[in-house]
Amino acid sequence: DMTQVLTGAADATISAVVLSFNASRQLDRCLGALSQALDELGTGNEVLVFENGSADGSAEVLRQWAQRR
């Protein structure tokens, strides 16, 4: 079962896609760096994360990250 976390605007000009499986320890740093780089471009953007049923709490990390954005 794949879940999707979307942040960004509907009028995004850049879409970044991240695939995640048991990556809870790396997600926060990865998404933070990716978001910072996209924001520095000054264009509309979105980040799509596909979490594929991880057993390490990745989905919860993604939910928390999306709430902070």
Cβ contacts of 26-29, under 8 Å, gap ≥ 24: 27/58, 27/61, 27/62, 27/65, 28/61, 28/65
pTM given for the model? 0.74
Task: Of 29, 2, 30, 1, give the one whose Cα is nearest residue 16.
Answer: 30
Q: pLDDT-derived band of residue 1, with 50, 70 and 90 as boundaries?
A: very low
Q: pLDDT-derived band of residue 57, with 50, 70 and 90 as boundaries?
A: very high
Query: Rounded mean pLDDT of the chain?
Result: 84
- 53 or 5, which is more confident: 53
* 15-37: pLDDT as tens digits: 899 999 999 999 999 999 999 99
